Structure 1
Amino acid sequence: MSFRLGRLLGGTAFVSLILASASSACELKIGSPSVLSGPAAQWGIALRGAVEFAAKEATEEKLITIDGEACTVSTSVIDSKYTAEGAASAMNQLAAQGIKVIVGGVGSPEVTGLKPVATRNRMVAMVNSFAKNSIGPQWPNVFHIGPGPSGWAGPIIDAGRERFKFDSVAIVAPNDQGGTDVAGVNGDIFKEKGVNVTQEYYQRGTTNFAPIVTRVMNANPGALDLASSPAGDAGIIVKQLRQAGFEGPIFRLGGPGFDEIARVAGGVDVLKDFLWYEPIYMDENMKALEEKYQKLMGSPRPENSDFFRWTFAARMMIKAVAAAGTVDDPRKIADAMRALPVEDANIGKGHWIGQSFFGINQEMSYPFAIGIVQNGQKQPYLRAEAVSEK
C-alpha cells in the first residue's frame, strides 16, 4: 500500500514538475487590435500579416533570449472594427489574456479607444494614427510607427505643384477624428504653400457620395485631397468625380492604398493625375523582405504596403523586449525602445522624431516614396529621405 502510494506521489510530483516547467517557458505574446472588416480592412490585414510574420521570424531565429532561454513569440489579433469602441473592446480582451505588448491599431479612431485601456493596464504599444494627439507625454509607453502627414505631406504637395498648376484644393474626409485631424493638418500645409483650402466631410460608412461630388464640382477647386478616406471610399469618389468631369490632380495624403483605389475607380487610367504617400520605397532590400515572407509564411505578403511599416514596428518591439530582458514589464520595454536606433535590415536607417509636433520623441521616421500617376500612366516612384527634426 505504501509502495503504491509512493509511486502515486512520485508520479504526481513528476507531472507537477513538467507543468511548472511548461508554465514558466519564456513566451512573448503580442496583442494586435486590427480592423478586419469594413472598408478599412485592407489596413488591418496588412497589420495582422506583419505581426504574424515578425512573431514567426523571431521564434525561428531565436531573436529573444532571456536568462539563457530562447523565447517563443505568438500573437493574438482581434477585430477592432476601425472604431474607438471596437478598439477598446479588443484591448480589454487582450488585457484579459494578460498581454502587455501591443502592435496596432491602424488609425485614429482605434488609437483613441485603445490608449486609455493601454494606460490603465500598463501596456506598451506601437500605434498608427494621423491624429494630432496620436502620442504625447501623457502616454509615455505609446510609440508611433511612422510620421504622419505633418512629416510627408509637404514634399508630396511640392511634387504635385511642380507638375500641375493649381491654387485651390478641396479636402474630402470622414467626419470623425480619423478624418478631421488629417484633413486639418493637410489643410494647414496647403495654406502654408499659398493654396486656398475648402473642406468637405462625410459620415463614415456612407455609400452615396453624389452630394459631395456635386458640391466639389460646384466649388470648382484646382485640386482635390482625399486625406484619410478609406481606400474603398476614395476609389468611389475618384470614379464619380472623373465621370462628372473633374480635371484637376487628386492627392491621397492620408496613407497607402493605391492599388485598391485604382481598382475601385476602374483602373489607373481613370485616376488621370494622382499623387499619394507610399510608406516604403521599394528596392532590392524590400524585395528580399517580400521573398522572406513568402518563404516563411507560404503565401505572398498582404497587398497593402502598410505591411512593411508594421513589420518594422513589430521588429522594433521585439528588439525592445530582447534589450529589456523581459516579456511582461512594459516600463522596461518602453525604456529599451527609446534607447534603440531607428534601423531595420530591410527598410534602412531613420530617426526618432515627434518632439516638435507631439511633445515627445517617440515617432519613427524612415525613407518613404511619392507615388505619381500622370496622364493616366503610373510613373516611377520618387524616393524621399527620412524626415528629421534636427
Structure 2
Amino acid sequence: MKLRVPLRLIVGASAIALMMGVASGASACQITIGATGPLSGAATQWGLAIKGAADFVAAEANREGGVLVGGQRCKVSVVAIDAKYTAEGAAAAANNFVSQNVKFILGPIGSPEVTGMKPVATRNKMIMMSDSYAKDAIGPRWPLTFHVGPGPLAWGDPIVKLAKQKFGIKKVLIIAPNDQAGTDVADAAVSVYKKNDVEASTEYYQRGTTNFAPIVARIMNANPDVLDTVSTPPGDAGIIIKQLRQAGFSGVIGRLGGPGTEEIFRISGGKDVVKNFYWFEPVFIDENVKKLGDSYRELLGAPPPENNFFYLFAAGGRAMLKAIADAGSTDDAEKVAVALRKMTVDDPNLGKGRWIGQEAYGINQELSLPFGVGLLIDGKDQPLVRVEAPDGK
C-alpha cells in the first residue's frame, strides 16, 4: 500500500531542508588568516607581534559573528607558521599556506622573509600584509604585496631633525646585518642622515654573530657621535650596545628601524646603560591606541604583545578583513587587493592615514599612519613625540 504525502508537507520539508542548508553553509563560511614571521631567534618579538595581531583581529571579528561577506557571516581563524627570519623559512611557510588554501597573510617581516615569500604568494595569488625596508619590498611586479608601514625614507627625516636638536649629532655610524635586509635599510638611513648634513658611514656583521668585540673595536676607532642600529634585531642590538658601553663608548644610540626597545633595554643592561637614545616608534601610543590593548586583554585574556608592531599589524589585519567584506569574496585575492587600494585609511584606534609608496616603489601600497619618536635622555624617558602620517614625498 502506497502512502500519499500531502504536497504542502513536501514543500514544507523542502523549505526546512533548504533553510538548514543555508544555515549550514553560513556556519561553514571561513576566512583563514595566515600569520607568519620570526617566531624563534633574535627577532622573535616581531613575529609574536604579528601572531598577536592576527589572533586579535580574528577574535574581534568573531565577536560580531564573523565578517559579513556576500550576505554570510564568515568566522575567522588563524594559522601561524615560523618563517625563521630567513628567505628559505618564509618560502616554506608560503608553500605551507598554499597547501592549506590560505589566501590572506599577515606578515612576514624583514627583507629575508619578504624576499622568500613574495614569489610564492604572487604565483599562488595570496595577499601579503608585510613589512620590510628592502628597496624592492613592494612594487608593480608584486601587486598583491602590501606594506603595513613605510620605511625610513618616509619617516626618517623628522626623527633625524629631532636628534640633531636634542643631541647635537654630527657624525653617525650605522650598523646592520650583511644581507639585503641590512644593506637596504642602512642605505636608506645614510641618505636620510646626509640630507640633514650628518656625516654617515656603515658597518656590517653576519647574522648569528654573538661576539661583536672586533666590530665594537672598529666602532670605537671611528668615534661617531651616534651608533644607529637601524633594523638590527633587538637581541643583536642589545648585545652590541652592552659591549660598546663596556668598551667605554659614551655616544648616543639611534634606531631608524624596527622597534623592540624594551628588549634592547633588557639585554643591554637597562636604561641607565643605554643612557641617550632616540628611536622610531611605528605607532604613537595615546589613550585611543591603549584601548586596542585593552580590547586584546578582554578578547584573548592576556596582555598584548610588547612590540609595537602589534598595533600596525592589527591595523593591517583589520583593513584586510574589511577589504574581504567590500570585495564580497573569501578566496579571490585580486578582488580583495582592488578593495584595499580603494579603501580610505581610518583605523578606529590608530587614526587617519593614507596609502603611499608611489614615489619610493612605483605603487601606492604602503599603509601610512601616525607614528612616534621615542627619546631617552640621561637614562630618563621623555614624552613620545607624535608625527602625523607621512605622505612619502
Shorter-normalised TM-score: what interval?
over 0.9
1:317 aligned onto 2:320: yes
Distance 2:59 2:329 in 1: 19
Q: Identify the residue that residue 298 of structure 2 maps to in structure 1.
A: 295
After superposition, the Cα gap between the structure-2 partners of 1:285 and 1:24, relative to the gap in structure 1 and judged at 3 Å, is: closer
Q: How many residue pairs are counted as aligned between the two chains?
A: 378
Cα shift at 1:192: 1.5
TM-superposition CA deviations, 1:289-319 (whole Å, max 9, x none): 1111101000110111111011001001001
Distance 2:153 2:123 in 1: 29
1:251 aligned onto 2:267: no
TM-score where L is the length of structure 1: 0.93
CA contact (8 A) 1:268 1:376 kept: yes
Specify the SS of the correspondent of 2:108: coil
1:151 aligned onto 2:154: yes
Higher mean C-alpha displacement, 309-318 vs 191-200: 191-200
Unaligned stretches of 5+ in structure 2?
4-16
Unaligned stretches of 5+ in structure 1?
4-13
1:271 aligned onto 2:274: yes
1:180 aligned onto 2:183: yes
Kindly provide the amino acid, as one letter, of the partner of residue 335 in structure 1.
V
Q: List aligned pairs for 1:1-390, cutoff 5 A.
A: 21=24, 25-62=28-65, 64-389=67-392
Specify the SS of the correspondent of 1:105: strand
CA contact (8 A) 1:63 1:322 kept: no
Distance 1:204 1:33 in 2: 20
TM-superposition CA deviations, 1:103-139 (whole Å, max 9, x none): 1001111000000000111111111101111100111
After superposition, the Cα gap between the structure-2 partners of 1:185 and 1:216, relative to the gap in structure 1 and judged at 3 Å, is: same
Specify the SS of the correspondent of 1:312: helix
Distance 1:389 1:105 in 2: 22
After superposition, the CA RMSD in angstroms is: 1.9
Specify the SS of the correspondent of 2:78: strand
Distance 2:141 2:257 in 1: 25
Q: Identify the residue that residue 7 of structure 2 maps to in structure 1.
A: none
Distance 1:62 1:54 in 2: 13
Kindly provide the amino acid, as one letter, of the partner of residue 188 in structure 1.
S
After superposition, the Cα gap between the structure-2 partners of 1:197 and 1:328, relative to the gap in structure 1 and judged at 3 Å, is: same
CA contact (8 A) 2:276 2:378 kept: yes
CA contact (8 A) 2:132 2:147 kept: yes
TM-superposition CA deviations, 1:131-187 (whole Å, max 9, x none): 111100111111110111111111111111001123211111111111111101001
Instruction: Give the percent of matched residue pairs that are identical in Structure 1 and Structure 2.
Output: 53
Specify the SS of the correspondent of 2:117: helix
